């Protein structure tokens, strides 16, 4: 069960040696979408050098418009695995349909995106697999609904769930979403599961990624997921919120200092 009452100690999710939860502080970084081999290898090497412990990249993209770039699908997963081979970084990528599950056999962490947080049949099926699941909070879902979705996965026998606060819909239009910073300490109080923050999708603006990342570390987040692109203006998805590798390196410097101050490793 997700409730801390039944499990007082923090759950630590071990992804091929990269630990998320407990005293660990781990950053997942990479492009919104996998676009090409050169792009993936370049970004993977850069984020590793800056201290990221996992590599992200979307192969199946949940786009608002059917005419927007939908991802490279199986080829995208192949390129992520190439980047893993090159850098050793475990990979995180989003699943959109149960029909694709076989393509995820070598993926290290399966992401359930905000739009599928309450796709209960998908959650039940992921509960039967032995891979860590990164569960993102829905655009308009409460913390308790997020925890119940995690419960769906755990009820099937999979206890490796990482929660992700990625901003929620509010009346405010200045940012893409509103980062619900209170969600971090509250979710950690209610549950033993690790909680990470995605400042990129919360803000929708690259310049806000650093301040929101610092806030996340300060309220006790177990990690961050940050979008990084080698050429943000040319990105096929989410360029406005993507950091260049140099910008990411600066954010990591600050974040690592704050995490060390909080005795996180």
**Residues contributing to the site for ligand PEP (CB under 6 A):** 32, 58, 62, 94, 113-115, 136, 166, 201
Taking the least distance from each CB to ligand PEP, the nearer of 62 and 157 is 62
For ligand PEP, the closer CB: 235 or 259: 235
Q: Which does 136 bind (CB under 5 to 8 A by kind): Mn ion, ligand PEP, none?
A: ligand PEP
Nearer to ligand PEP, 120 or 261 (CB): 120
Q: Does 32 bind Mn ion (CB under 5 A)?
A: yes
Nearer of residues 58 and 90 to ligand PEP, judged by Cβ:
58
Q: Give the integer Cα–Cα distance in Å for 169 and 74.
A: 31
Distance in Å, CB of 101 to ligand PEP, minimum: 18
Among 160, 193, 238, 259, binds Mn ion (CB under 5 A): 238
Smallest separation, CB 34 to ligand PEP (Å): 11
Partnered with residue 178 across adjacent β-strands are: 168
Q: What is the dihedral of CA 168, 171, 172, 176, to 10 degrees?
A: 40
- Long-range contacts at 18-22 (CB < 8 A, ≥ 24 apart): 18/53, 18/54, 18/89, 18/90, 20/132, 20/162, 20/194, 20/196, 20/222, 20/223, 21/162, 21/193, 21/194, 21/222, 22/194, 22/222
Could you tell which of ligand PEP, Mn ion, none binds residue 84, using a CB distance below 5 to 8 A set by kind?
none
Binding region for Mn ion (CB under 5 A)? 32, 238
């Amino acid at each position: 069960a997700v409730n801390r009452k039944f499990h007082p100690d923090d759950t630590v999710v071990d992804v091929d040696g990269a630990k998320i939860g407990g005293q660990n502080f781990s950053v997942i970084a990479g492009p919104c979408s996998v676009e090409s081999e050169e792009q993936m290898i370049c970004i993977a090497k850069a984020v590793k050098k800056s201290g990221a412990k996992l590599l992200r990249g979307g192969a199946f993209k949940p786009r608002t418009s059917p005419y927007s770039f939908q991802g490279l699908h199986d080829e995208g997963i192949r390129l992520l695995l190439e980047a893993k081979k090159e850098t050793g970084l475990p990979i995180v990528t989003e699943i959109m349909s149960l029909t694709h599950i076989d393509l995820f056999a070598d993926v290290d962490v399966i992401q359930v995106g905000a739009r599928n947080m309450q796709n209960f049949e998908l959650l039940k099926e992921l509960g039967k697999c032995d891979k860590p699941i990164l569960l993102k909070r829905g655009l308009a879902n409460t913390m308790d609904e997020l925890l119940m979705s995690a419960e769906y996965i755990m009820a099937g026998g999979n206890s490796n769930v990482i929660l992700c606060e990625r901003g929620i819909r509010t009346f405010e239009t200045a940012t893409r979403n509103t980062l619900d910073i209170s969600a971090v300490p509250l979710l950690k109080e209610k549950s033993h599961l690790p909680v990470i923050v995605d400042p990129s999708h919360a803000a929708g603006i690259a310049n806000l990624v650093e301040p929101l990342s610092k806030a996340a570390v300060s309220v006790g987040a177990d990690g961050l997921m940050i979008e990084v692109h080698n050429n943000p203006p040319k990105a096929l998805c989410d360029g406005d919120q993507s950091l260049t590798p140099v910008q990411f390196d600066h954010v990591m410097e600050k974040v690592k200092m704050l995490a060390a101050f909080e005795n996180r490793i």
